[in-house]
Amino acid sequence: MEFFPNHAIQLSNLFWFPMLYGISSLLVMSNISKEGKKRILTFPKYKSKANKFFSIFFMLIFGKLIIIYSVFVPIKAFTVYFYLGLVIYTFGIFCSVYAMWIFSKADLSHPVTKGIYKYSRHPMQVMYYLSWIGLGFISGTWIIIIYAIIFPILTIPSLIAQETDCTEKYGIEYTKYLKQTPRFLFFK
């Protein structure tokens, strides 16, 4: 493992993995209703313009920069870290896409609390971040693992805004869910 790899643009670089996630997400999105798409793609209401700017900046800009960075990062194939990362990445992507599918099929008059949503209030995001930890191991690159740890922390204002919207929309049903289910997997 190294902090920065030898950067070069090659066909065998890491970008294939985020591309696979993007294609998987598009396949799910192409098979859901207009209401389901709207529900997935709607930004929450923020308490202040600063919170909104901060959240959108980190989600859109910072999030896209790591994908662009993956174009320059080589894969360290056939190492123990590679196989460990492959398992983590596959689990993360499968669970993230599964969460998207569950979310899109749920009854819009109730909060989503079934399936993977029993274990995390934000499984799409949590599993996406977990997949980036896997990509850090696949590439043998600490900078990607550090990103995958810092990025969720930076998006907490957005998660809180989503939870506030859901509390307003679903009332006590969502408040009960908030008390029972961690925001991330193991951290309330």
Beta-bridge mates of residue 74: 13
- Helix %, strand %, coil % for the chain, to 5? 70, 0, 30
Q: What span, in angstroms and rounded, lies between the C-alpha atoms of 144 and 28? A: 26
Q: Given this model, what pLDDT does residue 94 score? A: 94
Q: Given this model, what pLDDT does residue 105 score? A: 82
Is position 17 within any domain? no
Q: Name the DSSP class of 169.
A: H
Which candidate, 7, 128, 165, 12, places its Cα nearest to that of 75? 12
Is position 64 within any domain? yes
Domain limits at 158?
47-180
Tokens of 28: 């799910």
- 66 touches 147 (CB < 8 A): yes
Is position 126 within any domain? yes
Q: What is the mean pLDDT of each run of 10 residues along the chain (188 residues)?
A: 86 91 88 79 75 74 86 94 97 93 86 92 92 95 92 85 91 94 77
Is position 35 within any domain? no
Is position 23 within any domain? no
Beta-bridge mates of residue 13: 74
Is position 6 within any domain? no
Tokens of 175: 């408040």
Is position 176 within any domain? yes
- 123 touches 95 (CB < 8 A): yes
- Please tell me the pTM assigned to this model: 0.87
- Look at the chain and report how many structural domains it folds into: 1
Integer Rg of the chain from CA: 17
Burial of 179 (0-12, 13-18, 19+ CB in 10 A): exposed
- 149 touches 93 (CB < 8 A): no
Tokens of 117: 């949503």
Q: Given this model, what pLDDT does residue 167 score? A: 94
Is position 39 within any domain? no
